[in-house]
Amino acid sequence: MTRTRPQCGLSLFLALSLTWPGALLAASAASAGDQHLITLKASAMPSGQLAYEMVSHKVKSSTGKESDLTERYASGPTIPGPTLVMKEGDAAEVTLQHGIDDAQLPVSIHVHGVHYKIDSDGTMKLLNGVADEAAFPGRPYTYKWTAAPGTAGTWAYHDHAFGNPMLGAEDKGLFGTLIINPASGKVPALIDGKVVDVDLADIKREFILWMHETTFWGQELNHIIEGGKEIPLWTNPTVGARLGEKVRFHVIGIGTAFHTFHLHAHRWIEAGTVGGAVDTVNVGPISRTSFVVKAGEGVGPGDWHYHCHVIQHMQSGMMGDFKVVE
């Protein structure tokens, strides 16, 4: 099994090419979905926080069509890290490079939601009993994930090794989002008072909001720009949409605090419930809510506030706006 590979350039390209058949073979047992070849790097931000950045994301579809999605991502490390979007039936090989200057400590990716073998757990041997499944300086590590049926949802990935072999350094910024879209291409949503299936192709904007201690760290996935764009929005941002657009929110907790995510003047259904509208959802560490709303439905345009409804967190500025314009 190819677990490590050279860092970049022509040799990387060759290595990637060589691993295609392996990736196909690994995934073919599960389904005939797309094959994702992703290379991420763990790096330090200018502030000293740690974060993941996208190096390369290529996809080979079941029909054999190859595409390069790398341009979709922001350049440089971001908090949250790159949002990886797959669909049920897809498989991925995710290679992590160690790019944290002046640090010899291993760094990893532990993923939630999808299927993987124990050598892709992203933990240290101390925990998994198998191997140190982490990248070291000059020694990347490759994880294999399968988005098997039933894994649709919004999931976290995060470090489980750096600085502390039991915990890792997710608290310092090493976390990101994995979205597995359902094979059906549709998600249920409360639109105009009814629960309907919304076609994912009709969702033009997605907002990722991580609730870390008393701060939201945001990102937009914009599907209007050709090929899609991932836009870092940093802390407590304004997320914006046009009136009547269907937008999807992904709200995820991390750290130690428990939150209640509230968005003013909008309601949605929690996945798995029918007709049970909510406008506030409990979000604990690595638990999440993902939902579709029609921007400004029944209430019109405005700077609709979103915030954590824990009073102390509100007092610390854990809030932003959902800007709905005509």
Partner 1 sequence: MNYTSFLALALVAFPLTNAANAVERSKSEDVIISRPGVLPSAVLEMTDEPGKWFKDPKSGGSLVVIKPGQAVLIKMTDTNTDHTITSLLWQPGAANFPVDQERPSNASVTQTFDKPGLYVFTCKVHPYMLGAVVVDDPTTEGLDIGAEIQLVTGAKVPTTSDIAKKLLRTFFIGTTPALWRDYRTPNWEVKLPDLPINLAGSVLKLSALNFSEPNALLQPQIPGVGEVWVDTQFEGVSGKTKHGTATQIDASNWTIKQKVKGVEQNMNNPHNMWTDATYKYIYQTEWFDKRLTTFDRASGKVYNTQVVGQNPSHAMSNPLNGMLYVALNGEDRVLKLSPGEFPTALGNINTGPHTGPHGHHITDDGKYMITPNALASSVTIVDLASEQATEIPTGGVIPIAAWSDMDHKAYVANLLGTPPKMLSSLTVIDIDGKKKIKDIDLAENYDPISGEHKGEAYGLGPIQTPVSPDGKYVVSANFLSTTITILDTKTDKVVKSLPCEPGCHGVNFGLKKGGGYYAYVASKFANDLLVVDMDKLDIAGRILLVDPKDGQITGNYGMGGQGVLPLPLADAGMLAPTLKLVGTGKLSPEVEGWLTLVTQQQRGN
Binding site for partner 1 (CB under 8 A): 44, 46-49, 71, 74-75, 171-172, 205, 207, 212-216, 218, 220, 222, 224-225, 229, 231-242, 256-257, 312-313, 315-317, 320, 323, 325
Of 188 and 240, the one with the shorter C-beta distance to partner 1 is: 240
CB of 309 to partner 1, least distance (A): 14
The phi, psi pair for 21, rounded to 5°, reads: -60, -40
Q: Of the two residues 53 and 121, which places its CB atom closer to partner 1 in the complex?
A: 53
Name the residue nearer to partner 1 (CB basis): 139 or 323.
323
Measured distance CA(92)–CA(105) in Å, rounded? 25
Provide the minimum distance between the beta carbon of 240 and partner 1 in the complex, in angstroms, as a whole number.
3
What does the DSSP 8-state code read for residue 201?
A: G
DSSP string computed for 89-138 = T-EEEEEEEEE-TT--S-B--EE-SSB--GGGS---HHHHSS---SBBTT
Closer Cβ to partner 1, 83 or 215, answer by number = 215
Rounded Cα gap, residues 326 and 324, in angstroms: 7
- 68: which strand partners? 58
- Min dist CB 198 to partner 1, Å, is 20
Which CB atom, from 48 or from 64, has the smaller least distance to partner 1?
48
Contact 243, 298 (CB under 8 A): no
What are the residues facing 261 on neighbouring strands? 281, 308
Minimum gap (Å) between residue 79 Cβ and partner 1: 9
From the CB of 53, what's the least distance to partner 1, in Å?
14
Q: What are the structure tokens assigned to 174, written together?
A: 């090493």
CA nearest to 269, candidates 256, 278, 260: 278
Residue 120 beta carbon to partner 1: minimum distance, rounded to whole angstroms = 28
Q: Shortest Cβ distance from residue 288 to partner 1 (Å)?
A: 20
Q: Which string of DSSP letters, residue by residue, matches 276-300?
A: -EESEEEE-BT-EEEEEEETTTTT-
Beta carbon nearer to partner 1, 269 or 324? 324
Q: Which of 30, 16, 4 is nearest to 89 (CA)?
A: 30
- Cα–Cα distance, 98 to 257 (Å, whole number): 29
Give the residue with the Cβ less far from partner 1, 288 or 313.
313
